[in-house]
Amino acid sequence: MVEIQGQQSQEFVIGGYTPGNPLDAVIVGYYDDQKLIYAAKVRNGFVPRLRREVWQKLKPLEMASCPFANLPEKKRTQFSLTREEMKNCIWLKPQLVAQIEFTEWTPDGHLRHSKFVGLRDDKDPRWVVKEERG
């Protein structure tokens, strides 16, 4: 994990996205004991060209079922993903890794003020875990 001026950065596995010109947000998480755990829906950091490029890489990975072990969430917060919101999600085989910047983890285990930085092709998704600050 890297920290820059109050920002933290780490890699997360992309397990889905919400559609919208052609994508609105990526849905990311990390592995905990071989289970993919939802961390955030990331909308910031995309410009139109980047949205199209990322969507082109996500499209072939689409699948019918949600890969996250902890969804849907029962508690409704601004960071949660409920059963109703999940109806709009496109689920993906968890094969791509994204670099995400954020300010902190919320008490519920979500990312606050998250921003997409880019895709990582040097990381195996199965090795992406929640990094703890030292």
- DSSP character string of the chain: -EEETTEEEEEEEEEEEEESTTEEEEEEEEEETTEEEEEEEE-BT--HHHHHHHHHHHGGGEESS--BTT-S-SS--TT---HHHHTT-EEEEEEEEEEEEESEE-TTS-EES-EEEEEESSS-GGG-BPPPP-
In this predicted structure, which of 2-11, 24-33, 76-85, 119-128 has the lowest mean pLDDT?
2-11
- 50 phi/psi in degrees, rounded to 5: -65, -40
Tokens of 36: 């993919």
- pLDDT exceeds cutoff 80 at 134: no
pLDDT for position 132? 77
- What number of residues does the chain have? 134
Q: At residue 27, what is the residue type?
A: I
Torsion of CA 132, 128, 91, 64, to 10 degrees: -130
pLDDT for position 5? 57
pLDDT in tens, 83-109: 999 999 999 999 999 999 999 999 999
This prediction's pTM: 0.93
Q: At residue 94, what is the residue type?
A: P
Domain 2-127 has CATH 3.40.50.2300: no
Confidence of residue 3 (pLDDT cuts 50, 70, 90): very low
